[in-house]
Structure 1
Amino acid sequence: MNAANDTPSGANSRFATALIDMLDSVRYRRVSAAEQLDPVYRLRYEAYRREDFIPVNSQQVTRDEFDELPNCYCYGVYIDDQLVSSLRFHVVTAEQPTSPCMSVWPDVLQPLLDKGLNFIDPGRFTADFDASLAYPALPYLTLRLAAMACEYFPVRYCMSAVRPEHTAFYRRVFGATVLGDQRSYANLTFPMQLYAAEVPVIRDRVADRYPFFMSLPEEREVLFGTAQGETRAIAPSARQAQRLELLSKAG
């Protein structure tokens, strides 16, 4: 991948092993769009209020019009049964072309859809403050959802609306490159820049370097293919997927 090679292979291997071990305590839960006061929306509110990015509201939840779209998928991430982070993404196609990134960079993204190139648009990545301190690897555990979505859905790109101070992470881990300039994003008060990772180009390299992003088809089907009302917590399958990959290479 285009990620920087600034981590020695041995250290990277230890990091990857530690993350797979940590996944034993992780569960992913899909949020029902019908549940207006789901704890994930409260987590969003607390995270954005902490940095004064949004105004106070009496319900203490953060939802927007993009949560109501049929191409929206929203998830909570749990460690030892405690909600620690959340992620939302949209699957953007010519038939379902609406998403946060499309609303900000339509001039950049509409030509891709016109060419038949679909993409995942992840966003609303928020974390519990204490959990972010206790688990420095929380971004990897959360963005594993986006990595799995890129395997499940027929997409060419994974888009990321990224705050300037986070761009190095997306370049290093996902080999993402700049696609659009800095613009105001949705109703947030800080600027974002559009980055894109080309899924067929980076898929194998990301899996080799970060095997905790791997998953079995069964996990992806339960997370992404079930009815919108499915809200049970799902255990990760990275360990099993890595084992099968190693057996395949050995054979």
Structure 2
Amino acid sequence: MEMKAVAENMAVPSEILYPTGLTLGVVDFLNDVSYQVMRTEDQLEDIFRLRHDTYKHAGYLEGNADGRFRDELDLSPNVHNVAIYLSGALVACIRLHLMTAEQRESCAIGIFPAEINQRLDEGNIMVDSSRNCCDPKLESRYRALPLAVIRAAGLLAVHANAKWTLATIKEGHIPFFRRILGATSWHDGGVQYGGLDRATTIHLLGASVENLRRASKTKQQYFLSTPEERSKLFDGANGPVPSSVRQILTGEIVDPYWA
């Protein structure tokens, strides 16, 4: 059933406004999106190859002989490499690190240790997103694809009761993260990052998960999710987990988190 038809037949849960315009288009797009945490070497192979092709296309890699791009952070115990599927085809991926005072490995902390360690010392839980990749052949065709990718960070943040989501990004991507996540700069200026074949300047942004929760009820409904989607994804589902935005919007499932 199309989202517009659903809107005419089912009431939207209290305090959640039914999306319109561009946001409705994103929600419609997410109906065909699913997520999977890749755990085995065979599964990770697909992500590493997509990551390699994306970074090479963008000019950050000259290209590796094996056609894969990975690093030591892909082996850390707090990592979640998430694949994003569209109608069953792998189209994007993102690497997430769930950071606590006891488990601090991530891309961001290696570049901006002072800003992040201080907040971890205070007991905050954070989700650091890195290696965001969209199939370069599809990104221009599906403008909502980057939103589907960054949604994965929100899924883990809600699941783990995190306070912040982090992003280490180049300057040109800052407006997107500010607009979509309400992110703010955590470091004055950028830092040279040498983990790629072409050095680039990286900025650190942080976004409050509480602000994201509030915004999801009124203007960014694509971050809505059910407890079942979050639990299946991060607690061991063996296959892709469909997006559950529609179930929250139609009232099929009521999650107190969004109340």
> TM-score normalized by structure 1?
0.87
Structure 1 residues 200 and 96 mapped into 2: Cα distance closer, same or farther (>3 Å)?
Answer: same
Query: Which moves more between the two structures, 52-61 or 83-92?
Result: 52-61
Please identify runs of 4+ aligned residues in structure 1 that moved more than 4 A: 245-249
Per-residue CA shift, 1:63-115, capped at 9, x if unaligned?
A: 11000011000111111222111111100111111111010000111111111
Question: Per the alignment, do residues 168 and 37 of structure 1 end up closer, same or farther by CA in structure 2, a change over 3 Å counting?
Answer: closer
Alignment-derived partner of residue 104 in structure 2:
97
Alpha-carbon distance in structure 2 between the residues aligned to 1:245 and 1:151: 20
2:229 to 219, 227, 249: 219
Change (3 A) 1:106 1:147: same
2:243 aligned with 1:236, yes or no? yes
TM-score by length of 2: 0.85
- 1:187 aligned onto 2:221: no
Residues 92 and 246 of structure 1: CA distance in aligned 2, closer, same or farther (over 3 Å): closer
Query: How far apart, in 1, do the equivalents of 2:126 and 2:34 lie?
Result: 25
Structure-1 separation of matches of 2:161 and 2:96: 14
Structure with the bigger percentage of helix: 1
Q: In the alignment, which of 65, 68, 71 is matched to residue 64 of structure 1?
A: 71
Distance verdict in 2 for CA 1:36–1:136, change over 3 Å: closer
Change (3 A) 1:185 1:203: farther
Query: Residue in 2 aligned with 1:160?
Result: 167
* 2:39 equivalent to 1:32: yes
Q: Pick closer, same or farther for the CA change 1:131–1:237 going to 2, 3 Å.
A: same
Equivalences for residues 42-191 of structure 1 within 5 A: 42-180=49-187, 181-185=189-193, 187-188=195-196, 189-191=199-201
Which stretches in structure 1 are left out of the alignment for 5+ residues? Answer: 1-11
Residue correspondences, number: 237
For residues 192 and 206 of structure 1, what CA distance do their matches in structure 2 show? 28
Q: Percent identity, please.
A: 28
* Alignment-mate amino acid for residue 108 of structure 1: E
Matches within 5 A, 1:14-33: 14-33=21-40
CA deviation map 1:27-54 (0-9, x unaligned): 2121115337621110100011112212
Q: 1:29 to 1:237 in 2, by over 3 A?
A: same
Q: Does the 8 A contact of 1:174 with 1:206 survive in 2?
A: no
* 2:216 corresponds to which of 179, 200, 206: 206
